[in-house]
Structure 1
Amino acid sequence: MTREELFDGVQDIFRDIFDEDDMVIEDKTSSDDIEDWDSLNHINLVSAIEKEFRIRFALGELMALKDVGAMIDLMIEKLK
């Protein structure tokens, strides 16, 4: 799976979780950029990504992520 394919899949999940069909995320998108990105939506987001891509994140990995780009990079490593 390419980075672009992963990114597109993650964007679809963001749109579903935040209920915004026209949401556009970028590598630098973070929780500061999305008003409804609270702790509950963060859990829902991580859970949906883990389920969709059949991966698991460790708590320490999640705490270190600064933005969507870092999450995609971590996903690429986990899917190797």
Structure 2
Amino acid sequence: MVNEEIIQQLNIIFRQVFDNNDISVDETTTAADLEDWDSLNHLQLVVAIEKHYHIRFTAAQAQNWSNVGDIVAAIIQKQAVS
């Protein structure tokens, strides 16, 4: 259930960052799937996720995300450490 809850929250964050209420992401969604997911929006996503979950990622961690599933795993890992 945790993954599903995080995916729901990430959908809200993605919609806010991309200013597009039609976006729907799942664990397999990649930057190639979203037209506006460029390096600038990636940084904005990282910041929005960090603020929402009160966690911090290193640049290397955020750069290694290849899909939304990687983001979910990173959030779970950070929450386990906190």
Q: Normalising by the residue count of structure 2, what TM-score does the alignment of the two structures yield?
A: 0.90
Name the structure 2 match of 1:3. 3
C-alpha deviations, 1:6-65, integer Å up to 9, x for none?
111111000111111121111111111111111111111110000010011111111221
Root mean square deviation of aligned Cα: 1.3
Q: Which runs of 5+ in 1 are unaligned?
A: none
**What secondary structure, in the 3-state scheme, does the structure 2 residue paired with 1:66 have?**
coil
Q: State the distance in 1 between where 2:44 and 2:64 align.
A: 18
Q: Normalising by the residue count of structure 1, what TM-score does the alignment of the two structures yield?
A: 0.92
One-letter amino acid matched to 1:17: V
Name the structure 2 match of 1:27. 27
Number of matched residues?
A: 80
Name the structure 2 match of 1:55. 55
Identical-pair percentage: 40
Q: State the distance in 2 between where 1:77 and 1:33 align.
A: 25
Runs of 4+ in 1 over 6 A off after TM superposition: none
